[in-house]
């Protein structure tokens, strides 16, 4: 993947003679070092055979120990159940709501392909594009979608695979702008996020999901005000 924004940053760093950013594994393949359980059970998250396994129960998140601002993230994920629901919150405050048990931030949606069929209401089937990597602000975080579906941004091409198959997301997050590649092609994005520095939160939302090859490359920081930064958790 070579999104324009990431390449521009790396080129600038090289010209300035600064150290080149490097990929860092988000999981060590052995335990959950680097992550903090926020409001799920002790056995909700496990590392097995180098994969991160989430049972989906209860609804909630675990967060990264540190905050991130500008970065490139590579994630491979696979649902095990029809209509499975999960995702990753970026630039999050990692503070779950009382009712929905989920934090604020920009959500990178991960849904299994049968989700629309299983969530039909009054004969209305949710848009198919909903399950192919939507991006949206939650918990009061506002964004401007590249491909609007209301306040959300939907992928312009349906590229996700169903349960039992691995999907690959590459996410470039820079200065309130997000661009996302789904299985090898950039198909979604948003901009002007009102919060652009915070925690990464892995979501448990009712269905088993597996993750592997999760890596992150931090990029140089930008001009981010305290109002655009999630409060640090002590």
Sorted by where each begins, the domain ranges of the chain are 22-221
pTM of the model: 0.90
pLDDT confidence of residue 19: 79
pLDDT confidence of residue 4: 54
The answer regarding whether domain 22-221 maps to CATH 2.60.120.560 reads yes
Using the predicted structure, report yes or no on whether residue 14 has a pLDDT greater than 80: no
Using the predicted structure, report yes or no on whether residue 7 has a pLDDT greater than 70: no
Q: Cis peptide before 58, with omega less than 30 degrees from 0?
A: yes
Which of 128-132, 138-142, 159-163, 183-187 is predicted with the least confidence, judged by mean pLDDT? 128-132
Report pLDDT digits (tens) over 165-207.
999 999 999 999 999 999 999 999 999 999 999 999 999 999 9
Give the residue, 115 or 127, on which the prediction is more confident.
Answer: 115
């Amino acid at each position: 993947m070579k999104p324009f924004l990431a390449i521009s940053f790396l080129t600038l760093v090289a010209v300035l003679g600064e150290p080149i950013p490097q990929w860092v594994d988000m999981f060590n393949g052995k335990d959950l070092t680097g992550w903090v359980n926020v409001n799920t059970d002790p056995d909700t998250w496990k590392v097995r055979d180098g994969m991160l396994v989430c049972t989906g129960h209860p609804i909630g998140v675990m967060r990264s120990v540190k905050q991130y601002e500008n970065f490139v993230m590579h994630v491979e994920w696979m649902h095990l159940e029809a209509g499975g629901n999960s995702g990753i919150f970026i630039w999050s405050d990692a503070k779950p709501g009382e009712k929905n048990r989920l934090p604020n931030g920009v959500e990178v949606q991960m849904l299994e392909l049968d989700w629309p069929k299983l969530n039909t209401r009054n004969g209305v089937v949710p848009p198919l594009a909903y399950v192919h990597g939507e991006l949206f602000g939650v918990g009061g975080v506002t964004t401007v979608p590249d491909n609007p579906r209301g306040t959300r941004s939907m992928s312009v091409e349906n590229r996700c695979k169903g349960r039992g198959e691995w999907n690959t997301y590459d996410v470039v997050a820079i200065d309130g702008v997000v661009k996302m590649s789904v299985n090898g092609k950039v198909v979604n994005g948003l901009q002007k996020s009102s919060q652009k520095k915070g925690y990464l939160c892995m979501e448990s939302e009712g269905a088993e999901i597996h993750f592997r090859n999760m890596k992150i490359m931090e990029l140089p920081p930008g001009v981010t005000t305290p109002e655009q930064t999630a409060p640090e958790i002590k």
